[in-house]
Amino acid sequence: MASEGAFFDGFLDDYFAESEEHLTAAGDALLKLDDSIGNPAVERAAIDDLFRYFHTLKAISAMVELRPAEQLAHHLEHYLRAIRDGQTPLSPAGTNVLIDGTRRLEEIVHAHRAQREQPSIADLLSRVETLVRPAADRPDGAAGSSAPPERRWICTFAPTRDLLASGIGVDVIRKRLGEIGTIVEAVPQVRPDGTISFQFTIMAPNDIDLAKAFEGEPVTIREIVKGADLASALAATEPESGGASAVSPSSLSQVVRVDLARLDQLMQGVGDLVISRARLTESLNRVERHVPAVEFRTVQENATTIDRQLRALREGIMRLRLVPVGEIFRRMPFVVRDLARETGRTVLLDLRGQTTEIDKYLIERMMDPVLHLVRNAVSHGIEAPDVRVARGKKPEGTITLSAATVGDVVTLEIADDGQGVNQSVVEARARLLGLSIPPGPLDAAGVLTVLCAPGFSTKTETDRASGRGVGMAVVKETVEELSGTITLETEPGEGTRFIIQLPVTLAITDALIGRVGDESFAIPQGAVREVIDVAAADIRQLEENEILPYRDGALPILRLSRLFGIASAANGRFHVFVVGAGPGMLGLAVDRIVGHREIVVRAVTDPLVRVDGISGATDLGDGRVVLILDPGMLTRLTAQRAARALGDATTWGRVRA
């Protein structure tokens, strides 16, 4: 029984992966359909694609007995069939039903996977029945009623010279199968003798026995039933009973589904190898003076080769974890569409850099933050069409989502050309809510601090998009947990831009190692803009803050020795890591730089030992724990002091003098 349970667990994993692929493809087809007004050819192609996706979802959901998904997919397919047959036109209400139905199917599959209560489908079934009711005189029954159940078959055809000479080829078989049922998939196969066969997966009405219909024909027919045939029904690549065992590589998708947990285990193993290699390096350094130079050179060359191979292995596994950021972006058009319709706004969505790749884990964690920022852009940013026209703008607003990678850092931008953030309104609302406000005039960084305060909202009533006072706080918290930063750029009347910077991956990274007294700290290399050598005499003191003349401006300095209470060993000079950008730029001062290392990031999750400014820990191979700095958090910790030091140009002039 245990092996049977394991089999069905594995089969369910196949079902979830297959469903996700079809639902993603359905989303893409819905976008084409929504944009195909006035283009019948594109509309028809999109409808055909959607019909195929829902048909397949119905079939595979029936196999795992997920009845809500099966029933809803069937009704959506029924509506699309009515459109294809000319029984009912595609209407805006119909497009909305298809979009809402696709979302509900996603919710059903996710709920089944998480073993949660299934969402109701009654409302959607009723809406579909209303749409197809004009097709009540269809030969297959009254509109809105369930079509006859269907059976799934596998048909294998191996063409030969004699069959081709008699006029029986793959096109003839395909046509006959299509007349009886619906061809779900067709896969060519290479037999052991080098000849080609074709395998078709067909859905046919329940009252048709496909085996009898093709009795005496040069094909092999078998019905797909529950049990061992389920997995082959999903993959549709099982060899025919005639002994074909090899499948043409060019005929199949060159993709292998791997559970993310397995990739996590692989990355964990590579991380252990990185630490072991660091320990080996430390050991070699200790024994070098005891080994003849000629012999040690060979050992060192081998160690260098292992180092290079390990880095290649690490990069290869990291690439396996990378997925296009388009997985986030592709959901946003439907969100914008719904909110624009609900708020009476006209909004265009511009997607850029969808092929930019980041770690799958980051994709999952950033889905909700990006979703919230997009909702905010519609709800708070884009003005009503008449207001935009009165301000000399186009009636339709534009929201731009873009992604780009520079080194080990990925940048996500969510921008709109709306009214911008009114800083005085934000400040007044914060005071009304009793929230703390950064001292001095609010700049963009100060506005962002207020916007991300728990409980802050400029709306007095809650709607679908905003008003709960938790959204921006969650956005900030999530970005910080991922060792990222978020900044705000806004111009009244022109628009708003949120810029999120994240590490491409969180597991293993290159880092610079700095030393303060007897302690070492690691800082991710991708977060460091520049490393500078500084004389202590160049530092200016302003109240409790230290600043350094830097590129025609001033750079706030944070000495790690003072922050963490460590006795400094610096002798009049020290090194500074320059991190951040714009007003958020900061210099982290250490006694000296030890070097560059590849580190394994171990997150510090215990709240009893977490320290602000520290994102994790690592082992450099000598057995001692090295803390990993969080530049974003350190920048935020010193933001208020830096703002006071740099906000008054007159004061800065006195300091420089």
- 299-345 pLDDT, tens digit per residue, is 889 988 998 898 888 888 888 888 888 888 888 888 888 888 888 88
* pLDDT given for residue 148 in this prediction: 46
For 301, the token pair is 């060359």
d(CA 597, CA 595) in angstroms, rounded, equals 7
Question: Please, what is the average pLDDT of the chain?
Answer: 79
The alpha-helical segments, DSSP class H, found in 35-169 are: 40-63, 67-84, 92-114, 122-132, 161-165
If one counts every other C-beta atom within 10 angstroms of the C-beta of residue 646, the result is: 20
Instruction: Specify whether the CB–CB gap between 416 and 398 falls below 8 A.
Output: yes
Note whether 263 and 322 are within 8 A (CB).
no
Find the mean pLDDT for residues 497-511: 84
Rounded to an integer, what distance in angstroms lies between the CA atom of residue 620 and that of residue 404? 31
Q: Is the pLDDT of residue 427 over 80?
A: yes
CA–CA gap between residue 241 and residue 236 (Å, rounded): 14
Residue 406 has what pLDDT?
78
Concatenating the DSSP letter of every residue in 194-223 gives S-EEEEEEEEEETT--HHHHTTTSSEEEEE
What DSSP element (H or E) covers 433?
helix 423-433
Lowest mean pLDDT among 320-324, 331-335, 463-467, 554-558: 463-467
CA 115 vs CA 12, 105, 112, 327: distances in Å: 12, 15, 5, 24
Band (pLDDT 50/70/90 cuts) for residue 641 is low
Q: What's the pLDDT at 108?
A: 93
Query: Quick check: 575 pLDDT over 70?
Result: yes
- For residue 498, pLDDT over 90 is answered with yes
Residue 517 exposed, middle or buried by CB count within 10 Å (0-12, 13-18, 19+): middle
Q: Give 460's pLDDT tier (boundaries 50, 70, 90).
A: low
Question: Comparing C-alpha atoms, which of 392, 284, 331 is closest to residue 103?
Answer: 331
11-15, 509-513, 608-612, range with the lowest pLDDT: 608-612
Q: What type of residue sits at position 222?
A: R
Residue 252 has pLDDT above 60, yes or no: no
pLDDT at 249 over 60: no
d(Cα 567, Cα 518) in Å, to the nearest integer? Answer: 8
Mean pLDDT of the 51-77 span = 87
**Other C-beta atoms within 10 Å of 260: how many?**
14
**What is the structure's pLDDT at 140?**
43
Q: Which of 51-65, 363-377, 437-451 has the weakest average pLDDT?
A: 437-451
**Among candidate residues 141, 122, 143, 124, the one with its CA nearest the CA of residue 132:** 143
pLDDT tens digits along 84-143: 888 888 888 888 899 999 999 999 999 998 889 999 998 898 888 888 875 444 444 433
Section 562-584 average pLDDT: 83
362-380 core/surface letters (b: 16 or more CB in 10 A; e: else) = bbebbeebbbbbbbbbbbb
- Percent of the chain predicted with pLDDT > 90: 15
Which letter does DSSP use for residue 84 in this model? H
Give residue for tokens 């050819």.
41
Pair of tokens at residue 18: 């297959």
